[in-house]
Amino acid sequence: MNRWINEPIFMDFLNIIRVAFRALQRNKMRAALTMLGIIIGVSAVVAMVSIGQGAQAAVQAQIDSIGTNLLFVSAGAQNVGGVRSGTGDSGTNTLTVEDLDAIKREVPSVAMVTPSVTTRGQLVAGNANWNTQIQGVSEQFPDIRKWVVGSGEFFSDSDVRTAARVLVIGQTIADNLFAGGDPVGQEIRVQNLPFRVVGVMARKGQDQQGRDQDDIAFTPYSTVQNKITGSQRVQVAFVSAVSSDATYTAQDQITELLRQRHKLGTNEPNDFTVRNMSDIAEAANETNSTMTLLLACIAGVSLLVGGIGIMNIMLVSVTERTREIGIRMAIGARSSAVRSQFLIESVVLSLMGGVIGILLGVAVSLAIPKMLGWPTLISTMAIIGSAVFSAMVGIFFGYYPARKAAALDPIEALRYE
Amino acid sequence: MQAVQEIRRATPAVVDAMQIPDARPVIELEHIHKTYTMGDVQVHALRGVSLTIREGEFVAIMGASGSGKSTTMNILGCLDRPTKGSYILDGQDVSEMSKDERADIRSRKIGFVFQGFNLLSRTSALENVELPMLYAGVSSAERHARAMESLSAVGLAGREQSHPNQLSGGQQQRVAVARALVNNPALILADEPTGNLDSRTSVEVMEIFQRLNRERGITLILVTHEADIAQYAQRIVVFKDGKIRKDYQVEHQRNAAEELRSLPPIEEDEDEEEE
């Protein structure tokens, strides 16, 4: 009937924790080194997950800023005959301005369309020159890509119709060619043809991959086709659906329309690709998730190694303290009380390591954006997960030594030298 | 039993020495056998031991090594179980008890004092004394109060915070006695308690035992191989070859308190050496 009295849970719990702390204090250096494994493991998990989540959040933010109702239509198709795997690659001539006009005209869920024909060219203004990307688009480009004009204005639909020699330049070009002066109204020569600068785009900064998004010049696509490259090819088109919800409908309708226009039979594959931002976001997130998982797994291995370190030290500790265990048993400690004592010691060890590791991991996560410029997002799940996991490591790797201690025979243990 | 009664009748002086002649038995061993198997060899450590110890008795168990006294001590202390026979401790049959049940019995009914003191190192005297109560589920406040009281009963008031390595051997053994005492056990088992002590300190420890026995009526069992130490007990049980060879009342029990008074006062070194 008195069984429960001796049950360790009924012993003053704080006292057990205190006893565990005291035992660890006796070997501060050893406890610290043992914890180091867990500290490194947990902080690595927290930091890695923070980096992964930060990257994911940045991609998401970028995608949100582009707009979730955006669709990409590109010439060529992925995996056609296993050869042409890219999109809009050279030699693919399957997307025309007429196709795009038809999309704008006939697909009700589509709001705006702009082709995008890209080339590189040398821009010359006075005695300054700058090599950059020249992107031929329609007047709806700023609305579709949600990119506003900083000064001056974007070119108009009549400029597109007449293939006018007008340029809207990015901030980087403005800085490099006009060095502080107002570029609007100035002349830039492209392949010896004079172009008039009508506007400068608002600064956009670097993208996810660190590329300068402001190093670009826009001109009507008709101008690129007729005056610069002489090619009627359209590589890519940006299409915006009337709403985010309409993107999938728009995707289907565009696909149907283009198959009709390209006279493709039911068994023939698409010779074009329509993608929406959600797909791209998903792909990006998937890559990031895989990376995060991989990094977390590597970090998890160090947690495991830390756990083995704890087991090793606890085994040493049980042997060293055989006599103490004998004394405790002789004066009335049940096996379960001895087992709890050692188990709690190992859990205290691993949990302390876990808490220190979390603090360190959070500190690293906060330092990384400042030192490396990578975005991080501290994950509550990772923190809770590591705390729980480190406690589990303590229980799992502490159980065997604790059981060994509890199984000691008090007579033998008391005789142990 | 019969033999004890006869001795009592025959020697009236001994009857006087026993404060409670018909006190109830604390320990009843009946036909205890203990056999160890070492490889293929069977070692008969105890071959039919029967022994009754009554409440308030102070009994010395003697015998050469290999006589079975340590095995008896382990069985009496519920650290081990007899192979055969019954052991009734304080009215409870403990011979068939499980490991955990024996741990509970040790916690509530038995106090141990060992030759090597067996205190937890780097742990204060107070906490050492509190330890048995921790396993008996005594509340923190009561633990503290009872440990303080127990330490002052063995003359260590003021040394509660000292660690074993700051105490002399005699003081350490007194901490161990305080620890044995603190759960108000039915019996205190002392295994060679003076084995590591000089003669004066031995007398001091025996003085504490005699005082506890006399004033509190605590039942004491003292395992020793020193005949002169055994003379502080009221009764001596001698083991040989796994059996009780002799069991007799001590005619002229030594009085440790008186002996201490007659000893020359010590140069105040031992107690204060670390200060």
Cross-strand pairs, A197: A167
CA–CA distance, A289 with A49 (Å, rounded to integer): 9
Q: Could you give the 3-state DSSP secondary structure of residue B215?
A: helix
Res B166 pLDDT > 90: yes
CA–CA distance, A378 with A45 (Å, rounded to integer): 11
Confidence bin at B21 (pLDDT 50/70/90): low
- CB contact (8 A) between residue B136 and residue A328: no
Across A51-65, A269-283, A309-323, the highest mean pLDDT is recorded for A309-323
Quote the tokens at residue B110.
Answer: 């038995």
Res A76 pLDDT > 80: no
In the block, tokens 């799992």 appear at A396
Mean pLDDT for the stretch of residues B162-170: 91
- CB contact (8 A) between residue A332 and residue B123: no
Confidence bin at B236 (pLDDT 50/70/90): very high
The whole-angstrom distance between B185's CA and the closest CA on chain A is 11
- CB contact (8 A) between residue B123 and residue A22: yes
Contact yes or no for B73/B237 (Cβ under 8 A)? no
Res B244 pLDDT > 90: yes
Q: Is B36 on the interface with A (CB under 8 A)?
A: no
Q: Is B115 on the interface with A (CB under 8 A)?
A: no
CA–CA distance, A84 with A9 (Å, rounded to integer): 69
Instruction: Convert the pLDDT of each residue in A319-342 to its tens digit.
Output: 988 999 999 999 988 898 889 889
CA–CA distance, B59 with B57 (Å, rounded to integer): 6
Pairing of strands A149-152, B25-38: unpaired
Contact yes or no for A59/A208 (Cβ under 8 A)? yes
Q: Of all helices (H) and strands (E), which one includes residue B138?
A: none
Q: Could you give the 3-state DSSP secondary structure of residue B221?
A: strand
Name every chain B residue with its beta carbon within 8 A of the beta carbon of A324. 120
Confidence bin at B147 (pLDDT 50/70/90): very high
Res A103 pLDDT > 70: yes
- CB contact (8 A) between residue B140 and residue A329: no
Q: Is B184 on the interface with A (CB under 8 A)?
A: no
Mean pLDDT for the stretch of residues B161-189: 92
CA–CA distance, A62 with A53 (Å, rounded to integer): 14
What's the mean pLDDT when you consider all of chain A?
83
With CA atoms as reference, the chain B residue closest to A411 would be B79
Mean pLDDT for the stretch of residues A283-289: 78
Contact yes or no for B175/B117 (Cβ under 8 A)? yes
Name every chain B residue with its beta carbon within 8 A of the beta carbon of A26. 122
Contact yes or no for A23/A34 (Cβ under 8 A)? no
Task: Among A5, A328, A329, select the one facing B136 at the smallest CB separation.
Answer: A5
Rounded CA Rg of chain B: 19
The pLDDT value recorded for residue A102 is 86
Nearest to residue B256, comparing CAs of B221, B202, B207? B207
Torsion angle in degrees (nearest 10) through CA of A349, A351, A355, A356: 20
Contact yes or no for A350/A38 (Cβ under 8 A)? yes
The pLDDT value recorded for residue B275 is 38
Res A72 pLDDT > 50: yes
Q: Is B97 on the interface with A (CB under 8 A)?
A: no
What sign results for the dihedral spanned by CA atoms A169, A171, A177, A178? Answer: positive
Name every chain A residue with its beta carbon within 8 A of the beta carbon of B79. 330, 410-411
Mean pLDDT for the stretch of residues B107-136: 89
The whole-angstrom distance between A36's CA and the closest CA on chain B is 25
Q: What pTM did the predictor assign? A: 0.69
CA angle in degrees (0–180, nearest 5) for A77-A82-A85: 40
Res B265 pLDDT > 80: no
Residues with Cβ within 8 Å of A304's Cβ and at least 6 positions away in sequence, in order, are A41, A393
Mean pLDDT for the stretch of residues A25-52: 86
**Interface mutation vs chain A, best among B92, B97, B107, most A CBs within 10 Å:** B107
With CA atoms as reference, the chain B residue closest to A335 would be B100
**Whole-complex ipTM:** 0.85
Q: Which residues of B228-245 are buried (b: 16+ CB within 10 A; e: fewer)?
A: ebbebbbbbbbbeebbbe
Mean pLDDT for the stretch of residues A171-192: 86
From residue B104, alpha-carbon distances to A5, A200, A285, A360, A372 in Å are 9, 87, 60, 45, 61
Quote the tokens at residue A250.
Answer: 């728009």
Mean pLDDT for the stretch of residues A63-81: 73
The pLDDT value recorded for residue A143 is 85
The pLDDT value recorded for residue A242 is 85
Res B155 pLDDT > 70: yes
Which residues of chain A are at the B interface, by a Cβ-Cβ cutoff of 8 Å? Answer: 2-3, 5-6, 10-12, 15, 22, 26, 323-324, 326-337, 410-411, 414
Residues with Cβ within 8 Å of A346's Cβ and at least 6 positions away in sequence, in order, are A310, A311, A314, A394, A395, A397, A398, A401, A402
CA–CA distance, B129 with B140 (Å, rounded to integer): 13
Instruction: Convert the pLDDT of each residue in A117-158 to its tens digit.
Output: 888 888 888 888 889 999 999 988 888 888 888 888 898 888
Contact yes or no for B161/B125 (Cβ under 8 A)? yes
The pLDDT value recorded for residue B78 is 92
The pLDDT value recorded for residue A84 is 47
Contact yes or no for B180/B145 (Cβ under 8 A)? no
Q: Dihedrals φ, ψ of A194, to 5°?
A: -80, 130
Task: Among A328, A335, A414, select the one facing B99 at the smallest CB separation.
Answer: A335
Q: Is B104 on the interface with A (CB under 8 A)?
A: yes
Res A307 pLDDT > 80: yes
Name every chain A residue with its beta carbon within 8 A of the beta carbon of B183. 332
- State what percent of residues in chain B have pLDDT above 90: 52
The pLDDT value recorded for residue B8 is 46
Q: Could you give the 3-state DSSP secondary structure of residue B119?
A: coil
Q: Could you give the 3-state DSSP secondary structure of residue B193?
A: coil
- CB contact (8 A) between residue A332 and residue B140: no
Across A235-239, B27-31, B136-140, the highest mean pLDDT is recorded for B27-31
Name every chain A residue with its beta carbon within 8 A of the beta carbon of B104. 2-3, 5-6, 332, 334
Count the alpha carbons within 13 Å of B86 in the hemisphere toward its beta carbon: 6
Instruction: Convert the pLDDT of each residue in A332-385 to its tens digit.
Output: 888 988 898 899 889 888 888 999 999 999 998 888 888 887 778 888 888 888
Mean pLDDT for the stretch of residues A226-253: 84
- State what percent of residues in chain A have pLDDT above 70: 93
